[in-house]
Amino acid sequence: MSVARTDALTFSKNKAYHSLPWPKEISKITVFTEVIGGLGDISAAAKVIKLLQRIEPSLTFNWIISSKTSYPEKFLKIEASSNIIITKVKPKDLQPVESDFLVVGPVICSKETEEITTSPVPRFAFLENAIGQSFKSDSPSHEPDKGLVMGLEEGTGVLFDKTRIEAPLSGRVSCLSYLKEIEDPSLKHDLYKLLDCDDLEEIPDEGKFSINGGYAHKISSWKKFITSVVIDEQEKDVVIVLNRNGYYGPRKLWDIQNEIVTDSFLSLLNTLGYCSITLLQEEERSIETFCSREETGRRVSVIMRPSFSPGDMRRLQLASERLLATGDNSAAEAWASRCKLYHYEIFSPITKEKFLQQQIAVAKDIYTPLGELLDLVGSNDELSSVQMKELFSLLQDPKLHEKTLAFCQYVTENYSFAENLEGGLKRAAWNGVMPGVEDEGPLALCSRVEAFIESQRVPGGS
């Protein structure tokens, strides 16, 4: 068993490989993805495949996914997936495939290399944020530090979506024009109906409604986020879009209603000037509850769907002012999309407590109350009356929105995993082709690789 670690030394070594070409001896890539939680594991693996395609467009891929239910095709564009074979298998049905190189992650791989490929090949692991456990490797060319752990510490980073970072916004953190591009007709219909917009090709009025959204696994996380949004928004009607299914399976609308729309929550809404809250799921099934005898005032509407396509999730995040995230992928996507209020759910304390602490540390460096907010909502499933008072106080901070946006921008500018990941992949590949190549230092490394490439050229070839 080899302990995976990412530190400044590893980052320095990977950086030496970043500018090198991909070895032509490695053309068949196997990517093995075990799905434990939500769709974030699939999305992360797809981003690694896209990076490898950018490094060397001629590569072919066998993407093996061990999952009960997943839709990996949605995470790759058609033109990008023409050289990819996608296989979904149950763990007991896994059969080794022919390959030159094995990539595993982001979940710690439970399989030995010979269970995945027909012969020993260089093996590279990219591992979920802040994970501190170990992974297996039987490849003689593999060393412990070639497995990279993601996170928000020196020498690490997270996988960002550049299309979110570079997406234009009409406001500081959101843009309702992205709702025009929603692909799910039922979701778009419900959104536009709540936004009082009859023309699906029009842009809803940003001055009347506040759009917010996210993804989580626990009802308690949805409740905390909804509570924070209704406290934070002081002028507009509120629309919140959330998933209804998570790791724990589908949740019935009545169960969500009973846990979230309590007497104390209705009293809070009434105090804040809202008149009702509506929970709406697919097929226009909804439950509206009034919190005031006066049926006038601001309204809260919560649209819930089992899940969202990758494209619609991106559009919702870019249209949202406030975002809820969990795991690895949705957190990185929230920061890339930008927001003025951010919640993070710890789905698994074993693997995500450290990641939350990393987020809190970065947030406190930017603005102490922001770190305190992340700690409050991230570390507690249910908020006590004392903690609710603390939440009120933190949300009334006039600098909170500005500092949350600064946090998103700082993380996206300083914690990209792409360069480290590219160097790590090339490092594992070249050490597979030329074992021990890096022992001579960065300068000798480039010279040796260039000499090797020249020696492999076919006479008269290009």
For residues 63 and 322, give the distance between their C-alpha atoms in angstroms, rounded to a whole number. 34
Same domain, 47 and 174: no
354 lies in some domain: yes
Is the residue at 462 inside a domain? no
Domain-embedded: residue 205:
yes
CB 223 within 8 A of CB 212: no
> Domain for residue 321, yes or no?
yes
- Between 32-36, 65-69, 182-186, 224-228, the lowest mean confidence (pLDDT) is in 65-69
Residues 256 and 357 in one domain: yes
58 & 108 share domain: yes
Task: Enter the DSSP assignment of 262.
Answer: -
Report pLDDT digits (tens) over 142-171: 333 347 889 998 878 999 999 999 999 888
Report the pLDDT value the prediction gives residue 139, as an integer from 0 to 100. Answer: 38
Does the residue 140 lie in any domain?
A: yes
Tell me the average pLDDT across 41-50. Answer: 91
Residues 66 and 188 occupy one common structural domain: no
> Is 2's pLDDT higher than 60?
no
Return the pLDDT at 38. Answer: 66
Of 89-103, 137-151, 427-441, 448-462, the poorest mean pLDDT is in 137-151
Enter the DSSP assignment of 237: E
Domain assignment present for residue 461? The answer is no
Q: For the segment 81-104, what is each residue's pLDDT rounded down to a tens digit?
A: 578 999 888 878 889 999 999 999
Residues 7 and 94 in one domain: yes
Span of 193-197, 405-409, 434-438 with lowest mean pLDDT: 434-438
Q: How confident is the model at residue 16 (pLDDT cuts 50, 70, 90)?
A: confident
Mean pLDDT of the chain: 86
Structural domain boundaries enclosing 447: 2-159+417-455
Q: By percentage, how much of the chain surpasses pLDDT 70?
A: 89
Residues 133 and 192 in one domain: no
Domain count of the fold of the chain? 2
Classify residue 50 as exposed, middle or buried by CB count within 10 Å of its CB (0-12, 13-18, 19+).
Answer: middle
Amino acid 135: pLDDT: 37
pLDDT bin (cut points 50, 70, 90) of residue 132 is: low
Q: What is the spatial distance between Cα 43 and Cα 148, in angstroms, rounded to a whole number?
A: 17
The pLDDT tens digits of the residues spanning 273-325 come to: 999 999 998 876 888 888 877 777 899 999 999 889 999 999 999 999 999 99
Clarify whether residues 249 and 374 are in a common domain: yes
Q: Is residue 460 part of a domain?
A: no
CATH number, residue 63: 3.40.50
User: pLDDT confidence of 80, banded at 50, 70, 90?
Assistant: low
- The answer on 328 and 216 residing in a single domain is yes
The reply to whether 9 falls in a domain is: yes
CA dihedral for 410, 147, 85, 249, sign (positive or negative): negative
Percent of the chain with pLDDT over 90: 57
Q: Are residues 138 and 178 in the same domain?
A: no
Start-end of H helices in 56-183: 113-116, 162-165
The end-to-end CA distance of the chain, in Å, is: 43
Q: What is the pLDDT of residues 337-390, one digit of tens each?
A: 999 999 999 987 777 899 999 999 999 999 999 999 999 999 888 899 999 999
Is 47 in the same domain as 195? Answer: no
pLDDT band at 441 (very low <50, low <70, confident <90, very high): low
My answer on whether 357 and 380 are in the same domain is: yes
Question: Whose CA is closest to 98, among 70, 127, 60?
Answer: 60
- Mark whether 135 and 229 lie in a shared domain: no
